[in-house]
Amino acid sequence: MKPTNLAKVWTRWNHVLLLPYHFYCEALAMRDVLLRGQTSYTSTYCARLHLYVPLLLYAQLELVKICWELFKAPRNIYEVLFEQPTKELNILHKKSYAGRKIVSFSRSIDGTQLRERHRDRFNDQLRESDFSLTCLAGAVHDYFNTFSDLAPVPSLLNTTCRTISKGYFTDRRGDKSDNIGGVVFLQLPLRQPDVEHARHLHGIVECIRQQQIMIYLASIGQTKYSMLTALLPHVLTKIFINFFSYNFPITITEIYGSSAEFQSTWGQRVQDVLLFRPPQSKTCLSLNLHRFGDKYRLAIMADTHLAPDHTIITRSFERYMETVTL
């Protein structure tokens, strides 16, 4: 008998003889998966199924979600841009603007003292960012209340919001677009800040996260690749910009970083950073909320025709951040 035939026979019978051992390993793998959610018997069929079947299912679910978001996108975009924005007029609609800019900024506010004052009140249902946005809304309310004899204080204010990460300052690459987030549209409720106000804002933000996914992605495409302006005619783009800047007269930018440590390009330590995002077209007020490490600061860039009353917002923001307790 040839040696190759002997090897084939031995291999075939070896598999048969090892069947009990394989069944034993499969049983151990099944036990580990059921009890611990993982197994060290990675060569078993049970371990492979446990690894790849959920991946396939989640991939299919993600595909279904993407298709569903694309299906809902036209309706959501129409609702966000045309149906949901408040039609209330405010003093910003009645002013004429010069096009020149003026700035104001608050003191740095210690986030550690803020958390100590609230004693573990911040959680998934009420975040620290919700509190800072609530104080900002209260400060804007105080600004509009100054002109209550000329125009009523709106209960809701149409704003656009976006985020800029710390890498916008620290990255040494020429392209900064990766650090700029997309745009969302926020109907900011204006009132004196309290716990109900903060919870209301939290609910609005959660709704935005579910409804404005495609708007956020489209705005990122515009920021990185100028996608929208390349697709639309110049005249139509200008009409849209004027329309939305009139209906959304305030823009809010959150500038954030997990640490306040900065170094300039030549290695010098930077003590503090202020970013003023210039308002465009008929957008007359840019509110820039900085958070680096445990420090908060509000920086405002406004049209010169809003001076000197625009400083009311920075002073009120300081007062609310330092005194309000939810």
110 and 227 assigned to the same domain: yes
181 and 34 in a common domain: no
Distance CA 196, CA 177 (A): 36
% of residues, the chain, pLDDT over 70: 91
- Tell me the pTM: 0.82
Average pLDDT of the segment spanning 300-324? 91
Cis omega (within 30 of 0) on the bond before 308? Answer: yes
260 confidence band (pLDDT: 50, 70, 90): low
Q: Are 153 and 267 contained in the same domain? A: yes
Residue 130: pLDDT above 80?
yes
The answer as to whether 260 is a domain residue is yes
Do 206 and 96 lie in one domain? The reply is yes
Is the same domain home to 287 and 185?
yes
Instruction: With cut-offs at 50, 70 and 90, classify the pLDDT of residue 1.
Output: very low
Residue 73 within a domain? no
Residue 228 or 286, more confident: 286
Does any domain span residue 66? no
Structural domain includes residue 94 = yes
**146 and 285: one domain?**
yes
Domain at 153, CATH number: 3.30.559
Domains in the chain, number:
2
Q: Where are the alpha helices (DSSP H) in the chain?
A: 3-36, 45-78, 91-94, 111-118, 128-146, 167-170, 195-211, 213-225, 227-231, 234-247, 311-323
Q: Is pLDDT of 154 > 50?
A: yes
Residue 72 lies in a domain: no
Separation between Cα atoms, residue 172 and residue 82, nearest integer Å:
40
Distances in Å between the alpha carbon of 301 and those of 18, 120, 157, 305, 310?
76, 34, 18, 12, 9
Per-residue pLDDT at 187: 93
CA-nearest of 240, 191, 181 to 215 is 181
pLDDT of amino acid 6: 47
- Same structural domain for residues 128 and 46? no
126 Cβ neighbours under 8 A, 6+ residues apart:
195, 198, 199, 202, 326
Looking at the fold, whether 172 and 257 belong to one and the same domain comes out as yes
Is residue 197 domain-shared with residue 291, that is, in the same domain? yes
Residue-level pLDDT at 165: 86
Q: Which of 42, 59, 76 delimits the end of a domain?
A: 59
Q: Please provide the average confidence, as pLDDT, over all residues in the chain.
A: 85
CA dist., res. 72 & res. 76, Å (int): 6
Judged against a pLDDT cut of 70, whether residue 203 lies above it is answered with yes
pLDDT at residue 185, rounded to an integer: 93
Q: How many residues does the chain have?
A: 326
Higher pLDDT, 270 or 65: 65
- 132 domain residue, yes or no: yes
- Per residue in 34-66, is it b (16+ CB within 10 Å) or e — as a string? eeeeebebeebebbeebeeeeeeeeeeeeeeee
- Whether 7 shows a pLDDT value over 60: the answer reads no
Range of the domain at 312: 84-323
